[in-house]
Structure 1
Amino acid sequence: MFMYCWGAKCHGQLGLDDRTAGTSDTDTDEPDSNKGDLVSTPLEVRFFRRRDVCAVACGLRHSVFLLKDGTVYTCGSNDKGQLGHEMHGRIPGQVKALETCVIRHVACGEAFTVVTAENGTVLSWGDDSCGQCGCGSEDREPKRTPRFLKRLSMHHVVQVACGGAHCVALTKGGRLFVWGDNTYGQLGLGHTSVKYVEKPTEITSLHGLPVMRVAGGGAHTFVVSVSGTVFGWGRNHCGQLGVSDTKDRSQPTLLKSLRTQKVKFIACGKNHTAALTADGGVFTFGAAADRQLGHSSSSNEINPRKVFELMGSEVTQIACGRCHTLAFIPKTGRVLSLGLLSHQQSTTRPAYRRSMSTPINISGPWAEGASTQNNLPNETPKHHKSTEQSPSEQNRKKLKEFQSNVDDEHGVLELESDLNEEVSIPEVVSAGEDSAEEMETDDIANHEVDTDFGRLRRGLRTRTTGETQDETKEERRVREIFSGGDHCFLAATFAKASEDVVDHREIPIDNHIATIDAVFMDTLEAASSTESLSEPVMSSIEEVFSSAACLNASFLKTNDEHFGSSRQNHGMDLDAAREQFRRLAGKEAVVRYVSI
C-alpha cells in the first residue's frame, strides 16, 4: 500500500516530516507565501509504506488514518485535542486509547474525530464547543481522549458522517441519529430553537426510509436512500442543498431534480455538494467561488448540474474538501481536481494557477491509461524511453556507486554539479518523507524529482522505501481518493495486486442496514433447527422486523427498477416478499419469537 498526499501542510495534516517543504524547486514561480505551507505535487507519506491503510478522514487541519487491523493514527493540529494523543502532530501517531477496540470507520469534523468500532459502538474526541462529540457534556471543553457515546450503546452504528461541527449516524436497524451544532437546522430536527444538541437524537421524519448513505458538509447534511432518493437539510445560502433556492432547511427536503438520476453517493464540501450516479455521472451544486463545481463559472448553482467536462467518462469515486472536488476515472486511471486545489496545489504552472475553471489531471507515480477523454491537461510531461542510457540513468549509476559512503544517520548524499543539470527522465518517481523509525533500514536510493519540469533535485535521499528494485519499477494503480479541509490523500497499490479498486457506487456490506437477504435466510434456517434461538439471531430478527426501513430495503425490484420510487411507484418486488415470508412461516422457532 502506498499513500500519497498534496495540499495544505502547515499544521502537519499531511503526515510529512518537517525536513522537506514539499513544494517544487524555487524556479517554478511558486509564491514565497506558499513555500513550506503547500504540497503542490503528490508526495508519498512514507510512514505508511509498510502499513495497510484502508480509510482516511480529513478535518480542517488534521487527518485520521484507519489501518486494516483496526488501529488508528492521527496527525496535524491538536489545538482542540482532535488527535486523541499528545505526540508530535507532524508525524502520524497511534491513538493508543483505542487499542482495546477494533475500529472499522473514521470520520472528521473541522476539529473533532468520530470512529465506529467493529461491534457498532461510537467513540469521539476533540472540539466539543457545540456538543459535536455527542457525549452529553455541558462543559463544552475539548475532549482530548476518546469517549464512548452512551446514548448509542444500544444501537449498532454502521455509518457516521461529520459536518463542520455536527454528526449524523446510521444504525443497522435503519435509524438516523444526529448531534452537535444546529444553528442552521443541519440536524434535521425541524427546528433551530435548540442551537446545540449534546446527545444523539433521532430524526423521526425519515422513519421507514431505507437509507444507503449519509454525508455531512460545513453546515448541511444529506442522506441517499437505496433507491437513489436524496434528502438534504441545513444551511443553504449558496444553494448547497440543490432545492432551487437559498433558504435554509431545518428538516429533510427532497431533491426532486435528482429523483430519476439514480444517485449512489454524495460528498460535501464546506458550502458545495457533489453527487455520483449509477452510470458514473457527477452532479455538483452550491458555492462556486473557487470553481469547485467544475462548470467553467464562479456563479453559485442552486440546482444540481451535471459536470459537462466529465460527461463521457465513468467516474467511480468522488471526494470533497473545503473548496475543492476530486473525481476518479478508472478507465484512464486519472484523478481530476476541481476548485481551489486545482489552481494552487495540483500544479505549479502560473497559467493554470490563475484561472483553471475546468477539471485538471493530478499526475503522480500511478498508472494512467492512454485515453485522453475530455482533453484534460496533464501536468506531468511524458518522456519516451530511449534505448541509450539517459543522463538520469547515468546519475543513478553514480548514486549507486556512492551509496557505500552515504551518511547513514542523515541519509543524504550531496552530488557534484553534473547531477544538478536539467535532464529528461524516463519515468516519474515520487518524492516523499520517512518516519524516524524507518530510517534505520535504509537500503534503496529514492530520487526526488520535480514532476512538473522533470529535473533531479539536489540532495538526493537514500532513505528506505521498503521495496526491492523490481518493485520500484512495478506499476501502481489508484485504489481510493480522500479529501477534506484543504488537503487530499490517495491510496495506491501495485497494479497486479488482487485488491479491488474502491467504487463509491457500491456499499460495503458492513455499512449496510439489515435486510432479509440470502445470508439472513440461511442463518434463520440453520437456527430454526434448534429448540432455542441464539442471542445474535434474536438480535437480527428484532433489528429487521421492528424496522420499516429494513423491510423496505429487503424486497426491491431487480435491474434498478426500484430507482425513482414514489407514491405511485413503490419499487418493491411483492412476489419476492411473499415467497420469503412463506419460507419464514415454516420456521416455528422464528415465528414463535416474532409473535412474542
Structure 2
Amino acid sequence: FGHNLPVRSQQLIPQLCDKNIQQFITGVDFVLAITDNKTVYGWGVNDHGQLARQLCSDHIREIYCGYYHSLALTSDGRVYAWGQNMFGQIGCTDVDHGSVDVPKELCFSENCQINSVYCSLYSSFAITTDGQVFSWGRNHWYNLGHNDHNVLTPRIIPGVCNVQTVRSNGNQTCFLTRDGFVYICGQYHENELSLMQKLPIIIPTLNMCTELDLNDYRNKCSNYLNEMFEIIGQLSDGKLNSGEHNQFYAELNHLVTVRSEYVVKYIDSRFEGNLYYIQMELCSDSLRNILKKNSTFFPENWDNR
C-alpha cells in the first residue's frame, strides 16, 4: 500500500490497477504478483532480499514463495531462487547463508528439464518433466526425503517417480503421482510421540487420488502409519524394530513402483481386522505357462529346479 500503517479493511491498490494481475503469491511478510505479460511486482519486507529487485521477469512461468524465499520457473525450464538462505533453501553453495537479493539460477544434475517448482517454509522442490523430484533446504524432520540435516543444493529424491504435485507444511511432505499414488515422508505422531519417516514411502490406501489436499492427506497418512505399526506388531506378536519397518515398506514400494508386462501389477491394499490384504492383477494363466512363454528371460531347465 506504500505505507507501514495497519490495513483493517479491503483497500484498492492504485499501483496495480489495470495491470492485468494473474496471480498473487505470498510469503510471511511480502507479496509477489504476476501480470499477464509476465511482469512481476513485489512489496512488503525486503530484509532478506525477498522482493528480488533485479528479477528479469520476461519469461517467468510460475513463482512459489516460502517463508522468506522464492523460486521462479521460466518458460524454457530455468529455475531462479532468491531470499533467505539460512538452511540452504536457495540451492547454491556459492552464496551467503544469510540472504540472496539477486536471483540465482540453479543447476540440476543429469541435464534434467524442470516442469514445476514448489516452496514450503524453508524448503524447496522442483519436479522434472519425467516426474522425478529435486529437494533442498531445511530437512530437520526429513521432509525433503533425504537422510541429511540440511540439503544445500538440489538433490533427486531416491525412489520417488512419476510425480506431478508436491505439497508440504515444512514437517511432512506428500507427493502425488500421475497414476494416483501418494508418497509421504517427514514427521508424524504415534501415541503422542513424534516420529520420523526419513525416506518417502507409498501410502497404498490413498491410491487413485486426483488432487493433493495436504491437511486431508496428512491426517490420512498419519493414521495409516500409526495403524500400520499397530497391525504389523499384532501380526508379528510384538513391536517391529525400525529395520523391520523399513524392510516392510521397501517391499511394498517395490510392488507399487514396478510396472512391466512381465510383472503382476499392484492394484490396492487395505486392512481388515488384524490382517493386511494386497490386491494384485488377476492373471488368466499359470506361472509355469507364463515362464515358458518368456523363456528367454529365464535360465534353461528352470522348471526342473
CA contact (8 A) 1:183 1:192 kept: no
- For residue 305 of structure 1, the aligned residue among 201, 215, 227 is 201
Aligned to 1:42: none
Higher strand share: 2
Identity across aligned pairs (percent)? 26
Aligned-pair CA distance for 1:93: 4.2
CA contact (8 A) 2:143 2:170 kept: no
* 1:301-340 → structure 2 map (5 Å cutoff): 301-311=197-207, 314-319=208-213, 325-326=214-215, 336=216, 338-339=218-219
Aligned to 2:18: 100
Higher relative contact order (CA 8 A, sep 6+): 1
* Cα separation, partners in 2 of 1:95 and 1:309, compared to 1, 3 Å: farther
* Cα separation, partners in 2 of 1:120 and 1:300, compared to 1, 3 Å: same
* Cα separation, partners in 2 of 1:188 and 1:100, compared to 1, 3 Å: same
Aligned to 2:8: 88
Whichever residue aligns with residue 159 of structure 1, its letter is E
* Cα separation, partners in 2 of 1:223 and 1:123, compared to 1, 3 Å: same
Whichever residue aligns with residue 247 of structure 1, its letter is H
Once residues 65 and 94 of structure 2 are traced to their aligned partners in structure 1, the CA distance between those partners, rounded to angstroms, is 20
Aligned to 2:169: 269
Whichever residue aligns with residue 197 of structure 2, its letter is E
Once residues 94 and 86 of structure 2 are traced to their aligned partners in structure 1, the CA distance between those partners, rounded to angstroms, is 9
* 1:236-255 → structure 2 map (5 Å cutoff): 236-243=139-146, 245-255=147-157
* 1:336-351 → structure 2 map (5 Å cutoff): 336=216, 338-339=218-219
What SS class does the counterpart of residue 358 from structure 1 fall into? Answer: helix
1:199 aligns with 2:119: no
Q: Is there any run of 5+ residues in structure 2 with no aligned partner, and where?
A: 225-305
* 1:1-40 → structure 2 map (5 Å cutoff): none
Which range moves more in the overlay, 160-169 or 94-103? 94-103
Aligned-pair CA distance for 1:224: 0.2
Aligned to 1:461: none
Aligned-pair CA distance for 1:223: 0.2
1:282 aligns with 2:182: yes
Whichever residue aligns with residue 42 of structure 2, its letter is S
CA contact (8 A) 1:184 1:248 kept: yes
CA contact (8 A) 1:282 1:315 kept: yes
- For residue 112 of structure 2, the aligned residue among 194, 209, 212 is 209
CA contact (8 A) 1:309 1:358 kept: no
Aligned to 2:39: 121
Once residues 127 and 217 of structure 2 are traced to their aligned partners in structure 1, the CA distance between those partners, rounded to angstroms, is 24
CA contact (8 A) 2:181 2:204 kept: no
Once residues 204 and 358 of structure 1 are traced to their aligned partners in structure 2, the CA distance between those partners, rounded to angstroms, is 37
Aligned-pair CA distance for 1:130: 1.2
CA contact (8 A) 2:172 2:218 kept: no
Q: Is there any run of 5+ residues in structure 1 with no aligned partner, and where?
A: 1-77, 136-149, 320-324, 327-335, 343-355, 360-596
Once residues 63 and 114 of structure 2 are traced to their aligned partners in structure 1, the CA distance between those partners, rounded to angstroms, is 12
**1:427-453 deviations in Å (ceiling 9; x for gaps):** xxxxxxxxxxxxxxxxxxxxxxxxxxx
What SS class does the counterpart of residue 97 from structure 1 fall into? Answer: helix
Aligned to 2:56: 152
* Cα separation, partners in 2 of 1:232 and 1:357, compared to 1, 3 Å: closer
1:185 aligns with 2:88: yes
Aligned-pair CA distance for 1:171: 0.8
Once residues 200 and 277 of structure 1 are traced to their aligned partners in structure 2, the CA distance between those partners, rounded to angstroms, is 30
Q: Please tell me the root mean square deviation across aligned C-alpha atoms, in Å.
A: 2.9
Aligned-pair CA distance for 1:95: 3.4
What SS class does the counterpart of residue 305 from structure 1 fall into? Answer: strand
Aligned-pair CA distance for 1:309: 3.9
* 1:474-513 → structure 2 map (5 Å cutoff): none
* Cα separation, partners in 2 of 1:248 and 1:86, compared to 1, 3 Å: same
Once residues 309 and 219 of structure 1 are traced to their aligned partners in structure 2, the CA distance between those partners, rounded to angstroms, is 29
1:232 aligns with 2:232: no
Aligned-pair CA distance for 1:205: 4.1
CA contact (8 A) 1:164 1:270 kept: no
Aligned-pair CA distance for 1:179: 0.3
Aligned residues: 223
**1:40-80 deviations in Å (ceiling 9; x for gaps):** xxxxxxxxxxxxxxxxxxxxxxxxxxxxxxxxxxxxxx9x9
